[in-house]
Chain A
């Protein structure tokens, strides 16, 4: 069965970076794009961007351009989302998704 398993919760200081991983299994990794969506506490869903798991090409939402890098390693069927220059506004649960399947979410807390 399709599974997306994300890395564990992170606590970071303002100005730091975080890298979240998303390991895929149960399907051909290169056959699907993977998207990243975040949800701040008590707020709605926000689409951040997507990576073409085959070519590595990306589309990033404008508000994240320059701070977000989406990559993948096809040898281990894993996608990554790196977010830099963290502020308290980046405190959220970050999801990877194939749209029909979602990871369990990774809580990132930014606090001094």
Chain B
């Protein structure tokens, strides 16, 4: 199985800060990487697919980059409503696998 390793596991940042979350795959997955946001008590919501394509309706402050084994999710200007846990998911090969999550707190 492909292992997905996210870092950091948690972070605290101020409103307006630029936030970066990294996801590393244990083997190459091309651009078959998605990012999800999960707010407390809610179902996850897809932010990014194909490593860098923004899901319809998602604010443009979210962006994704990377290919192969290294991927990044960036929030260009953190907003209070971005308090959530973020997960990467590889959909390159079954079984699909998630990263362990990054919890984002607002200072």
Q: Interface of A with B (CB < 8 Å)?
A: 35, 37, 44-47, 49-50, 59, 61-62, 95, 97, 99-100, 102-105
Whether the pair B98, A95 counts as a contact (CB closer than 8 A) is: no
Q: Interface of B with A (CB < 8 Å)?
A: 1, 34, 36, 38, 43-46, 49, 55, 87, 89, 91, 94-101
Q: State how many angstroms separate the Cβ of A78 from the closest Cβ of chain B.
A: 18
Please indicate the chain B residues that have their CB under 8 angstroms from the CB of A47 in the complex.
89, 95-98
C-alpha spacing A37/B91, complex, angstroms: 13
Whether the pair A104, B98 counts as a contact (CB closer than 8 A) is: no
Q: State how many angstroms separate the Cβ of A40 from the closest Cβ of chain B.
A: 12
Whether the pair B43, A99 counts as a contact (CB closer than 8 A) is: no
Whether the pair B95, A61 counts as a contact (CB closer than 8 A) is: yes
Please indicate the chain A residues that have their CB under 8 angstroms from the CB of B96 in the complex.
35, 47, 50
Whether the pair B46, A99 counts as a contact (CB closer than 8 A) is: yes
Q: A47-B89, A104-B43 are in contact. List 14 more A-B contacts (CB 8 A).
A: A37-B44, A44-B87, A44-B100, A45-B36, A45-B38, A45-B44, A45-B98, A47-B98, A50-B96, A59-B94, A61-B95, A99-B34, A102-B44, A105-B43
Q: State how many angstroms separate the Cβ of A72 from the closest Cβ of chain B.
A: 18
Q: State how many angstroms separate the Cβ of A13 from the closest Cβ of chain B.
A: 26
Q: Which residue of chain A has the shortest Cβ distance to B98 in the bound complex?
A: A45
Q: State how many angstroms separate the Cβ of B35 from the closest Cβ of chain A.
A: 12
Instruction: Give the 6 A-B residue pairs with the shortest CB-CB distance, closest first.
Output: A102-B43, A61-B95, A47-B96, A59-B94, A45-B98, A44-B101
Q: Which residue of chain B has the shortest Cβ distance to A99 in the bound complex?
A: B46
Please indicate the chain A residues that have their CB under 8 angstroms from the CB of B87 in the complex.
44-45
Please indicate the chain B residues that have their CB under 8 angstroms from the CB of A103 in the complex.
43
